[in-house]
Amino acid sequence: MIGHLVWKNALHRPLRTALGVLAVGVEVSLVLLIVGLTHGMLHDVAKRIEGVGADIMVQPPSASVFLAFSGAPMPEALGSRLAELAHVKAVAPVLLQLSSSGGLDIVYGIDPASFRAVSDGFFFLQGHGLEKPDDVLVDDWYARAKHLKAGDTLHLLGHNFHVAGVVGHGKGARVFVELHTLQQITGSPGKASLFFVKCDQRSSTNDVIGEIATLLPRYQIRPLQNYLSLMTQTTVPGLNTFVYSMIALAGAIGFLVIFLSMYTTIVERTRDIGVLKSLGASKGYIVKALLGETTLVCLGGIVVGIGMSYGGQFLLRDLFPTLTILITPGWILRAAALAIGAGLCGTSYPAWVASRKDPVEALAYS
């Protein structure tokens, strides 16, 4: 019966209920899309780094796992000292640069020979490797997204590049240029953001890591075999702050909208509350009815929000084919819990006020 009352009350003001549902939907989809985007990007980057085929990645102490945010503080010459270590077969310096032309993409500045040595080489779908300073390689996804083919011109980082070839995806980045070219463009001659290291055999990876750690204490040295599983959110402090701020913002939206909507509701229903009290309804009964209504709105909002998230995923995929958005059941549950938690918090004060109304005054309200 209280469910019936809750249901009928929600239907009695369809516009307000719909707005509440929509706001909770925005809250839920904001969480799912932000988390999905960051997870998707991390996942993507990690998978591609794993796909390079190197055994170890060496980064300076302050570097973020989320490579795009790293600067280029290491001297390129450090590479030759790494190459001298036992069991090291090849070392490739890479300079990273973020390009924001039409989506965010990481550009790798590579030395073609050493990069080929640490990886198993590119798989060319079209064209050939980097030969001239203004050559650029793009992967097939990027080529499809930007409608590029070998021989085209690509405007990147303020320069016109010549698309020398299109390669299979999964080799660290989607866009590759000559190391020296990128060093020039970014004004960091002789610098590298990271080194990929190839060992003479997989089994010596741990030994080599130990050697590098002695040589370069405090540097971040990671085996790449399980890189994907290593790249969880917890390893990205700055990103965590961002994601949690957005989640807090989403929760605040839900809280405020529900708070305002429930507050107007109880003012509007002052006389109804008086009536319920005259019938002998306890404070708990009134609180329960209001919390029930919020729960209903939140459940509706969660469904709408999940729908909006998948819709957003579909749209974004259409607009930016290189973006990956990961919507996971775990985060759907967390977003739902956030929505309901924020909603119940937002209702608690109005419900408390309603339950304490004086019945005679409430009945006299017009």
Partner 1 sequence: MEPIVKTEDLWKIYRSGKVDVAALRGVQCEVLPGEFIAVMGPSGCGKSTLLHVIGGLAQATRGRVLLDGNDLTRMSDAARTMLRRHKVGFVFQRFNLLPALDARGNIAIAQHIHGDGFDPHRFDTVTRLLGISDRLHHRPAELSGGEQQRVAIARAIINEPKILLADEPTGNLDTKSSESVLRMLRKLNQDLGQTVILITHNPEAASYAHRVLHMRDGQIVDGIPVD
Query: Angle at Cα 278 formed by Cα 273 and Cα 283, nearest 5°?
Result: 55
* Phi and psi torsions of 365, nearest 5°: -65, 135
Interaction of residue 285 with partner 1, rule CB under 8 A:
yes
Interaction of residue 275 with partner 1, rule CB under 8 A:
yes
DSSP 171: B
- Give min distance, CB of 14 to partner 1, in A: 11
Q: Exposed, middle or buried, 3 (CB in 10 Å: 0-12/13-18/19+)?
A: exposed
Q: Out of 158, 279, 318, 330, point to the residue binding partner 1 (CB under 8 A).
A: 279
- Give min distance, CB of 285 to partner 1, in A: 7
**Which of 44-52, 105-113, 272-280, 309-317 is the region at the interface with partner 1 (rule: CB under 8 A)?**
272-280
DSSP 47-112: HHHHHH--SEEEE-TT--SSGGG----EETTHHHHHHTSTTEEEEEEEEEEEE-TTS-EEEEEE-H
- Give min distance, CB of 293 to partner 1, in A: 11
Of 2 and 213, CB closest to partner 1? 2
DSSP lists the bridge partners of residue 75 as: 191
Rounded to whole angstroms, the maximal C-alpha distance in the chain is 90
- Give min distance, CB of 282 to partner 1, in A: 6
- Letters for 2-41 (x = contact with partner 1 by CB under 8 A, - = none) are x-xx--xx-xx-----------------------------
Interaction of residue 267 with partner 1, rule CB under 8 A:
no
Query: Count residues contacting partner 1 (CB under 8 A)?
Result: 24
N- to C-terminal Cα separation, the chain: 26
Of 10 and 54, CB closest to partner 1? 10
Query: Angle at Cα 207 formed by Cα 204 and Cα 210, nearest 5°?
Result: 150
Q: Tokens 């909208």 identify what position?
A: 257
Of 107 and 297, CB closest to partner 1? 297
Interaction of residue 347 with partner 1, rule CB under 8 A:
no
Q: Out of 242, 278, 314, 317, point to the residue binding partner 1 (CB under 8 A).
A: 278
- Give min distance, CB of 269 to partner 1, in A: 9
- Give min distance, CB of 363 to partner 1, in A: 7
**Which of 76-84, 110-118, 146-154, 278-286 is the region at the interface with partner 1 (rule: CB under 8 A)?**
278-286
DSSP lists the bridge partners of residue 56 as: 197, 223
Interaction of residue 353 with partner 1, rule CB under 8 A:
no
Interaction of residue 262 with partner 1, rule CB under 8 A:
no
Q: Exposed, middle or buried, 303 (CB in 10 Å: 0-12/13-18/19+)?
A: middle
Interaction of residue 359 with partner 1, rule CB under 8 A:
yes
- Give the separation between CA 94 and CA 163, rounded to whole angstroms: 19
**Interaction site with partner 1 (CB under 8 A):** 1-2, 4-5, 8-9, 11-12, 271-272, 274-283, 285, 359-360, 363
